[in-house]
Chains A and B, each alone.
Chain A
Amino acid sequence: MPHVTAGGGVVTTRLHVDWTRCDGHGSCAELLPELLDVDDFGFPVARSRERDPAVPRRHEAAASHAVRTCPLMALRTYDAHP
């Protein structure tokens, strides 16, 4: 999950949900089933139960797609320096 950047630093891509925007549309959980489940009310929940779940490299493309697809623009990825 953590990977070395061109500059030599170690970063982890993480997925962040803006809960004030999310309305439980559900497209993110469909596009990222390995990372996200939905709760009783249809809102995404990280399978890892992390606040901002780490995105393994093999799922980064799907994560970007989920970010672009979210109709509420409630999702983003960011690089965290652990």
Chain B
Amino acid sequence: MTTSLTTTRRLLDPAEARADLTRPALDTLLTEIERSGLTGRGGAGFPTSAKVRAVASGARRPVVVGNGMEGEPLSSKDAVLLAHSPDLVLDGLEVLARAMRARRGVLAVGPEADPAPATAAARARRVEVVQLDGGFVSGQETALVGRLNGRPGLPRDPFTRVSESGVAGRPTLVLNVETLAQVALVARHGADWFRSAGTRDDPGTSLFTISGAVQRPGVVEADRGTRLCDVIAPAWPVRPVAVLVGGYHGAWVPAADLGVGLTRRDLAAYGAAVGAGVLHVLGEGGCPLAFAADVADYLAGESARQCGPCVNGLPHVARNLRRLAAGVRDRSLPAEIARMAQLVTGRGACAHPDGTLRFVGSTLEVFAGHVAAHLEGWCPTSRQAVAS
């Protein structure tokens, strides 16, 4: 699924790819990035200026890493961006690397992306392109840094931040590839231009990957703050029941609320965030609990198997969710899932347990009626008894 559905706007515009590289000094660049209000497009949504500042203030020359690992199976926007606009991504990386007097610039591409366009575009630049394999957690910042240091791609304890000690022990800036492309555009056109799209609190555009119950799955670019229903419209959704916003670590927005704007603030009511822009449409044909149990099983299996609460807690939750989906009429199941979710959240080296449990919690909340029906032995999706 590497189709671009977008009427070309910013990130996938071939004219942008041909423009000359600007070389602003660090102060100028930082001021523009800060004024732009750009936030990370890889999932966590952290202000980009703060990340740059934390690394730039280090005593040693830093390393800048472009993160194109895209471990989320429902996301393909990074692969599409790297295929259509590799120069824009590399411009962003190079602008930052030059301004910060970086020792190294590395672009890490995940197993699903074609590394050829970026490799060709990097030939005339001082940027390395590497393709790495890896599963769901391979794009976690500390896992990627570990991998670039020649270790297995596993998350490490975040007590020492990669902004202090990352690749080769140097202060390391890790930014998602879309974030880098946005940095290139901010450097080229300025903060005011960037802010001319999106909302005051959540400016700019984002790439979104649309999948699930749609006739044309693919990637679109839209202003932050666009209504969810308008963003998924070009993919031709088929009778949506709910949309999973933010991917397997995300949360559900039910069909009745698809007018919600895709901003940090508007989505907070659902426990969701724009994140990496994953929008997965659940249609009428799929039981949400069966879907969620499949996802929870997958995510439990994608644990890096390092942290006890994650290794033990996620399978426990997945097992009980599966029993609920299968129609086991045990009224204690939802409370037991909630208890374990509360116990495990916040007790891991990376975002995997918290993200997984956010998804499970949202499922039980948004589909509470469905849960109640299953506990009565009835599935509203199939309109049949669920066997137990």
Contact with B along A29-69 (1 / 0, CB 8 A): 00000000001111101000101000000000000000000
Assess the B346–A19 pair: CB atoms within 8 A.
Answer: no
Assess the A19–B308 pair: CB atoms within 8 A.
Answer: yes
- In the complex with contacts A40-B343, A41-B313, A45-B343, A20-B159 CB distance below 8 A: no
Residues of A contacting B312 in the complex (Cβ-Cβ under 8 angstroms):
40-41, 43
Contact with A along B156-169 (1 / 0, CB 8 A): 11010000000000
Assess the A20–B309 pair: CB atoms within 8 A.
Answer: no
- In the complex with contacts A40-B312, A43-B308, A18-B159 CB distance below 8 A: yes
The answer, yes or no, to whether B348 is at the interface (CB within 8 Å) is yes
Assess the B155–A41 pair: CB atoms within 8 A.
Answer: no
**Cross-interface CB contact of A20 among B316, B342, B343, B349, cutoff 8 Å:** B349
Q: How large is the interface on B (under 10, 10 to 19, 20 to 34, 35 or more residues)?
A: 20 to 34
Interface residue tally for chain A (C-beta within 8 Å): 19
Q: What is the bound-complex CA distance between A40 and B340, given in angstroms? A: 9
- In the complex with contacts A40-B312, A41-B313, A76-B159, A19-B343 CB distance below 8 A: no
Min CB gap B110→A, angstroms: 22
Contact with A along B310-340 (1 / 0, CB 8 A): 1011001000000000000000000000001
Q: What is the bound-complex CA distance between A40 and B309, given in angstroms? A: 9
Assess the A20–B347 pair: CB atoms within 8 A.
Answer: no
Assess the B309–A39 pair: CB atoms within 8 A.
Answer: yes
Min CB gap B322→A, angstroms: 18
- In the complex with contacts A16-B159, A18-B159, A20-B157, A45-B347 CB distance below 8 A: yes
Min CB gap B336→A, angstroms: 11
Assess the B157–A21 pair: CB atoms within 8 A.
Answer: yes
Assess the B309–A41 pair: CB atoms within 8 A.
Answer: yes
Q: What is the bound-complex CA distance between A78 and B312, given in angstroms? A: 28
Residues of B contacting A17 in the complex (Cβ-Cβ under 8 angstroms):
347
Q: What is the bound-complex CA distance between A17 and B157, given in angstroms? A: 9
Residues of B contacting A70 in the complex (Cβ-Cβ under 8 angstroms):
none
The answer, yes or no, to whether A79 is at the interface (CB within 8 Å) is no
The answer, yes or no, to whether A22 is at the interface (CB within 8 Å) is yes
The answer, yes or no, to whether B306 is at the interface (CB within 8 Å) is yes
Residues of A contacting B310 in the complex (Cβ-Cβ under 8 angstroms):
19
Residue in A closest to B342 when the chains form the complex, CB atoms: A49
Assess the B343–A18 pair: CB atoms within 8 A.
Answer: no
- In the complex with contacts A18-B349, A20-B349, A43-B309 CB distance below 8 A: yes
Assess the B159–A22 pair: CB atoms within 8 A.
Answer: no
Q: What is the bound-complex CA distance between A28 and B9, given in angstroms? A: 55
- Interface residues, chain B, with chain A CB atoms under 8 Å away: 154-157, 159, 306-310, 312-313, 316, 340, 342-344, 346-349
Instruction: Pick the 6 closest A-B CB pairs, nearest first.
Output: A19-B307, A41-B312, A18-B157, A43-B308, A20-B306, A51-B346
What would 4 more interface pairs be, CB under 8 Å, given A19-B349, A22-B307, A41-B313?
A18-B159, A19-B310, A20-B349, A76-B159
- Can you list 15 A-B contacts with CB-CB less than 8 angstroms, sorted by A residue number? A16-B159, A18-B349, A19-B157, A19-B306, A19-B308, A19-B309, A19-B349, A20-B155, A20-B157, A23-B308, A24-B308, A41-B308, A42-B308, A49-B346, A76-B159
